[in-house]
Amino acid sequence: MKKIDKTLLLDASTRLLFVMTDTQYEVLIQEFDILLEQMALIGKIEGVDHVAPMTFSLQNETMQLREDVPSPSLSQTQATQNATFVSEGQIKLPKVVG
Amino acid sequence: MNVEAVIGLEIHVEMQTKSKMFSTAPVTYKADPNTAVVPLDLGHPGTMPVVNRQAIINAIQVCHALHLQIDSQLWFDRKNYFYPDLPKGYQITQNARPIGSDGWIEVMVENQPFKIRIERLHVEEDTAMQHHYEGFTLVDYNRAGIPLMEIVTKPDIRNGAQAAAFVEAIRQIVSFLKVSSGKMEEGSLRCDVNISVRPVGTETLGTKVEIKNLNSIANVQRAIDVEMLRQERSLIAGIPVQQETRRYDELKKETILMRKKTDAVDYKYFTEPNIVPISLSQDFISNAIHQSLALATTKRTRYQGELGLSEYDAIQLTQDVYVSEYFDQLTTLGNHYKLYANWLLGEIASYLNKANLGMLAFPIQPRYMALLMTMVAKGDLSNKQAKELFEIMVKNPGDPRLLAEKMNMLQISDEGYITQQVQEVLAANPQSIIDFQQGKDRAVGFLIGQIMKKTGGKVNPTLTNQILIKLLKSK
Amino acid sequence: MHWLDHTILDIHQALVKKTVTPLQLVEEALRRAKADTWNTFEITTEAHAIQQAKALTTPEVNNPFWGIPFVIKDNFSTQGIQTTAGSNILNGYIPLFDATVYQKLIQAKAILIGKTTLDELAMGGTGMTGHKGYQYNPFDASKTRQIGGSSSGSAAAVSSGMVPFSLGSDTGDSVRKPASYAGLVGFKPTWGRISRYGLFPFAPSLDHVAYFTRSVEDASILTNLLSGPDTNDATSSTQPLPVYHFSQTIPGKKIAVIHEVMDSIQNPIILQRFKQTLEALTKAGAQIDYVHFPLALLQAIYPTYMTLSCAEATSNNANLDGLKFGPGYQGKTYQDVMMQSRTAGFSELIKRRFVIGSFVLMKENQQDLFLRAQRVRRMIVENLQKIYQTYDVIYLPAAPTIAPKFTDSSDRLSSQYLIADSHLALGNFAGLPSVTLPIGFEQNMPFGANIMGRAFEEATTLEVAYVVEQFTGLKNLSILTRKPS
């Protein structure tokens, strides 16, 4: 597991596309210490690593596969109405390179 | 040093379902921007994915054609990253449990069979389209969410020809199953190449280079061949190959660096919690396979075997699924298979080419085409006359028999009538009879000409010839 | 007492008899909403509510929701009505579609009064982190205590008497804990019962639509109105609707109380009152047993919940980038514009949670963190299933204390946490139906007990709750109906 330090957290927050202050990173480091300690304790629970991970607690009979029937589309106006920068019916952003 | 290339391909196939993979928005081509979208395609909060049944059926059919093991459960994962063409900030895909795994396909390369193993086939959703301009980019979400099949081969391929054969085989499979139009030029079939080289006899793989943005099967082959050479030269010169993403430049006929490969991105895959795993029962899978349309390979076997066509014709007829379907319909209306093949690959192809139309837009219905062919086969029409009628029918489709009659085109094959015409012409040309008896072959041609003139070209030439020779010999 | 201060079922009777009209109810609700001093609303929908109320002239006898005012947490998509999920990143966002549950209520002619405040993006349990500021607890005149969260505004609206029911969401306890702090019935049915289409996701494998009412019966009719398969939600269940048989007696029902959770509660008044309810249940014919649950697993609840919910939340909120909706920014690159949006739009707490969420999902960390948490979840669920092989419900105090003071609360991860404070999350890990209802008071602040049943056994769960409600006499509790002690 990667060691928690400010460099790592800075990298993580940059990848999440936001900026945090130094104080915030310090609080976060403390939170990580707590969480990782608790997760390490969990690691000591007997048999925990031999059990399959669970995403779904209930395998319901559910609405599973959908028939291939199209529904009406939004209009161009509706599709773009919540965006701040719109041009030619499309969402506009700085030129994307790479 | 003998160097070999180790090549794996990643093919993305856009499915032509009516609605998208996880959203109900229509799948359209060439629609105005952002007119084929629902809130899920724009990543609106609170929207949820629901799996398209037809997309799964399509995937099963392709898995079957590629001899892949089909998973009995459908699981999905999130692939998390930020990019403007990814509205949710993640793509729903299948990482841990692809629907198909461990398959293979045999392709013909220079008339030799070559087997390529297939690692996996999984379903996922397409991204939005970005249009780049001077200083800004515009995003159109029509494509976002369209169903994709991703097919990954094992690195069994060794050269461009094998790769091209593979991509062509995939194209035929997906277009004949009608799960995709399979056109690289239109983007409904995409091919990424992973290629490295190593000295022959070694097991370790060399540094992999990725080639993207290939727009035709021919370019897949060319790109691989030049890249093989480039890497080989590098190896021999002792310069290590860099891990890069490159593209193929058609004019320069070389691969060009797009970007250096940095550390592999960590996509933080985890199970998609909004799609409860779906059981694919044996019945469901069997039914899906059973519904499959005939593959090109199956049709070729039939065309050559049962219908007696040449290998060449069989291959040509199975380049385009709609051409082969048209041919199949003709074969239910008559048995002039070679004639049908000739016309489809000749007159019809040429017409479509000039008019810039696909087979589906061909205006003459199979039954009228079949009638036209029958008339030619029976000798009611000469080839020349048939072509004339064809030109008219493409503008005004209709029953060729009525048309031929209206235009006084029907060849007469009545022996009694022909005999009479021949006798009348012989009577009017006694010198020609003498010429014939003296061995001058031109006489026959001259007499046929006269008969044609007399009958307005309507008599069956073969029959007329027969009768004329018989009568001449009897004089 | 205004008709608005009654239960849904009682108001319905009055509406049918035309003793009161929808317009009168709505006007009173809006008056109270305008007088709100607890920070309950993101927005009120006054004009629309009045227009709808005026249009309702013929009561529908078999539809108890006809003409009933309600509020909904501002993380439900409401077409044409601003929805921010308590976060600045969605300021000005006008949804294009209705959440399924909202649509069902509108179709039943219930009337929306407003969208209520919540902890930002539903990721909190104190009601202190929404972008409008602290949510106050109507039961606390000193305004020093929280109402809990994340469904804070929805709780306040019902406990202050503005409306007889409200919708919230429950991912770890976000309706059932505030219900305890605000003297309400807070019900979270089985995962999959109610469509989540239109609920802004926090952690889909743990998220549930949940709601506040002032009576158990009201919770039952709301459950049946909102339940049902939805083609827009692939996780929604096709199980048939529950059928309830409310009765003073519940002969033969087996009730389990978990030792380890009880041991972690110190408050003598809560403990004593809880015991009294146990006696009442016994008198009603139930068999009560104290059972054990592995302590290590109970202690694992909090970090497991943090790990799983932060991970899913980070992914769910990756769509919030300022491009398609929310305030947009200009910049040199797409990373630049997205970064400005997400830096300005998310509070500090949310950023910390997202960093945790993305950290636990990193390739090199997944085994030890995210996947391990998923394994623990399975162990917890399996241990619960063992209990349910014998017992119909698990019954426990909903929280170890009354509503905490703001000064005692923090949004930081704590190394000190009580099992009794996190056991409600068992209902999210296992997706089981779980209801909190008020049982008593301490320092004039309410506290509640919680009943959790087997999957899809909403009927049994609420039938047991009904017995408790009958015993306590706290049906229809609000600050306006509260009888002085």
- Give the ipTM of the model, two decimals please: 0.96
Distance separating alpha carbons of residues C348 and A28, to the nearest angstrom: 10
Residue range B276-284: mean pLDDT, rounded: 94
Distance separating alpha carbons of residues B322 and B360, to the nearest angstrom: 6
Q: In which domain, by residue range, is C447 found?
A: 3-250+397-404+414-472
Catalytic residue among C73, C104, C109, C253: C73
C163, C69 contact by CB (below 8 A): yes
Helices (H), B135-281: 160-176, 217-236
Angle at B42 between CA B59 and CA B128, to 5 degrees: 60
Asked if the C-beta of B135 comes within 8 angstroms of chain C's C-beta atoms, the answer is no
Residue B419, H or E segment = helix B415-428
> Which chain A residue has its CA at the smallest distance from C191's CA?
A58
C332 in catalytic set: no
> In chain A, which residues have their Cβ closer than 8 Å to the Cβ of C237?
60-62
Distance separating alpha carbons of residues C206 and B316, to the nearest angstrom: 56
Catalytic residue among C152, C166, C174, C341: C174
pLDDT at A98: 64
A39 vs C92, C307, C338: nearest CB: C307
Q: Per-residue pLDDT tens for C226-249?
A: 999 999 999 999 999 999 999 999
Asked if the C-beta of B132 comes within 8 angstroms of chain A's C-beta atoms, the answer is yes
Residue range B202-215: mean pLDDT, rounded: 92
More confidently predicted of C1 and B299: B299
Residue range A1-9: mean pLDDT, rounded: 84
pLDDT at A62: 67
CA distances in angstroms from C225 to B138, B251, C216, listed in the order given = 43, 66, 14
Nearest to C167 by CA among C246, C97, C94, C77: C77
CA distances in angstroms from C63 to C7, C71, C229, listed in the order given = 14, 18, 20
**Worst-scoring range by mean pLDDT, A19-28, B127-136, B389-398?**
B389-398
Distance separating alpha carbons of residues B366 and B329, to the nearest angstrom: 6
Sign of dihedral through CA atoms B317, B321, B327, B332?
Answer: positive
Residue range C261-284: mean pLDDT, rounded: 97
Distance separating alpha carbons of residues C310 and C307, to the nearest angstrom: 6
Two tokens, residue B7:
């090549």
A window 40-79, beta carbon within 8 A of C: 41-45, 47-49, 51-58, 60-64, 66, 74, 78
Asked if the C-beta of B273 comes within 8 angstroms of chain A's C-beta atoms, the answer is yes
Asked if the C-beta of C84 comes within 8 angstroms of chain A's C-beta atoms, the answer is no
Q: In the predicted model, what is the mean pLDDT of chain B?
A: 93
**Worst-scoring range by mean pLDDT, A48-52, C83-87, C389-393?**
A48-52
**Worst-scoring range by mean pLDDT, B236-240, B344-348, C1-5, C91-95?**
B236-240
Two tokens, residue B309:
């066509």
- Count up the domains in chain C and report the number: 1
C357, C313 contact by CB (below 8 A): yes
B139, B110 contact by CB (below 8 A): no
Residues with Cβ within 8 Å of C463's Cβ and at least 6 positions away in sequence, in order, are: C244, C245, C246, C247, C250, C253
Q: Which chains touch B (3 or more CB pairs under 8 A)?
A: A, C
pLDDT at A1: 65
For every residue of C196-231, DSSP letters joined together read: -TTBPPS-TTT--EEEEESSHHHHHHHHHHHBS-BT
Residue C224 lies in a domain: yes
pLDDT at C62: 97
Q: What share of chain A is helix, strand, coil (3-state, %, to 5)?
A: 40, 10, 50
- Tell me how crowded residue C71 is: count the other CB atoms within 10 A of its CB: 29
Interface touch A95/B135, C-beta < 8 Å: yes
> In chain C, which residues have their Cβ closer than 8 Å to the Cβ of B43?
319, 324
Interface touch C361/B270, C-beta < 8 Å: yes
Nearest to B55 by CA among B79, B90, B24: B24
Q: Is-cis flag, bond preceding B474, omega within 30?
A: no
Two tokens, residue B395:
């503008």
B174, B62 contact by CB (below 8 A): yes
Q: In the predicted model, what is the mean pLDDT of chain C?
A: 96
Distance separating alpha carbons of residues C212 and C179, to the nearest angstrom: 7
Two tokens, residue C168:
């919230």
CATH number of the domain where residue C204 is located: 3.90.1300.10
pLDDT at A2: 67
C318 vs B44, B50, B82: nearest CB: B82
C150 in catalytic set: yes
Interface touch B45/C231, C-beta < 8 Å: no
Asked if the C-beta of B87 comes within 8 angstroms of chain C's C-beta atoms, the answer is yes
Query: What share of chain C in percent tops pLDDT 70?
Result: 100
Beta-strand relationship, C69-73 and C111-116: parallel
B125, B20 contact by CB (below 8 A): yes
Q: Per-residue pLDDT tens for A14-66?
A: 999 999 999 999 999 999 999 999 999 999 999 998 999 999 999 766 668 99
Domain boundary among B234, B249, B279: B279
> Which chain A residue has its CA at the smallest distance from C334's CA?
A94
Distance separating alpha carbons of residues B124 and B113, to the nearest angstrom: 31
pLDDT at C485: 55
Domain boundary among B262, B279, B296: B279
Helices (H), C419-472: 419-422, 426-429, 458-472
Nearest to C472 by CA among C217, C277, C288: C277
Two tokens, residue C33:
């909403």
The pLDDT of residue B402 is above 90: no
> In chain A, which residues have their Cβ closer than 8 Å to the Cβ of C431?
57-58
Domain boundary among B279, B311, B338: B279
Task: Provide the CA C328 distance to its chain's centre, in angstroms.
Answer: 32
Interface A–C counts its CB contacts (< 8 A) at 193
Asked if the C-beta of B56 comes within 8 angstroms of chain A's C-beta atoms, the answer is yes
B86, B50 contact by CB (below 8 A): no
Asked if the C-beta of A96 comes within 8 angstroms of chain C's C-beta atoms, the answer is yes
C361 vs B48, B49, B268: nearest CB: B268
B window 138-197, beta carbon within 8 A of C: 139
Residue B81 lies in a domain: yes
Residue range B54-80: mean pLDDT, rounded: 97
Nearest to B46 by CA among C72, A65, C156, C432: C72
Distance separating alpha carbons of residues C48 and C42, to the nearest angstrom: 16
Q: Which chains touch A (3 or more CB pairs under 8 A)?
A: B, C
Residue C333 lies in a domain: no
Asked if the C-beta of B24 comes within 8 angstroms of chain A's C-beta atoms, the answer is yes
Distance separating alpha carbons of residues B210 and B195, to the nearest angstrom: 6
Nearest to B307 by CA among B331, B342, B343, B333: B331
Interface touch B84/A73, C-beta < 8 Å: no
> In chain C, which residues have their Cβ closer than 8 Å to the Cβ of A94?
330-334, 336-337
Interface touch B38/A91, C-beta < 8 Å: no
C309 in catalytic set: no
> In chain C, which residues have their Cβ closer than 8 Å to the Cβ of B128?
none
Nearest to A27 by CA among C127, C404, C410, C129: C410
Asked if the C-beta of B51 comes within 8 angstroms of chain C's C-beta atoms, the answer is yes
Q: In a mutagenesis test of the B interface, which of C81, C121, C205, C378 is the best target, namely the one with the most B β-carbons within 10 Å?
A: C205
Sign of dihedral through CA atoms B396, B399, B401, B405?
Answer: negative
More confidently predicted of B235 and B228: B228
CATH number of the domain where residue B452 is located: 1.10.10.410
pLDDT at B138: 97
Asked if the C-beta of B42 comes within 8 angstroms of chain A's C-beta atoms, the answer is yes
Interface touch A65/B278, C-beta < 8 Å: yes
B7, B193 contact by CB (below 8 A): yes
Asked if the C-beta of C295 comes within 8 angstroms of chain A's C-beta atoms, the answer is no
Two tokens, residue B366:
């199979």
Residue range C391-403: mean pLDDT, rounded: 97
The pLDDT of residue C22 is above 80: yes
**Residue written as tokens 């077409």?**
C79
C375 vs A48, A62, A94: nearest CB: A48
A48 vs C94, C338, C379: nearest CB: C379
Residue range B352-356: mean pLDDT, rounded: 94
Distance separating alpha carbons of residues C259 and C265, to the nearest angstrom: 10
Question: Does the model's pTM come out above 0.90?
Answer: yes
Interface touch B140/A90, C-beta < 8 Å: yes
3-state class (DSSP) for residue B157:
strand
pLDDT at B472: 86
Distance from CA of C485 to the nearest CA of A (A): 42
**Worst-scoring range by mean pLDDT, B34-38, B420-424, C211-215, C399-403?**
B420-424
Start-to-end Cα distance in chain C: 19
Q: In a mutagenesis test of the A interface, which of B24, B99, B129, B267 is the best target, namely the one with the most A β-carbons within 10 Å?
A: B24
Q: In which domain, by residue range, is B82 found?
A: 3-279
Nearest to C432 by CA among C209, C188, C173: C188
- Count up the domains in chain B and report the number: 2
Residue A90, H or E segment = strand A90-94
Distance separating alpha carbons of residues B198 and B39, to the nearest angstrom: 49
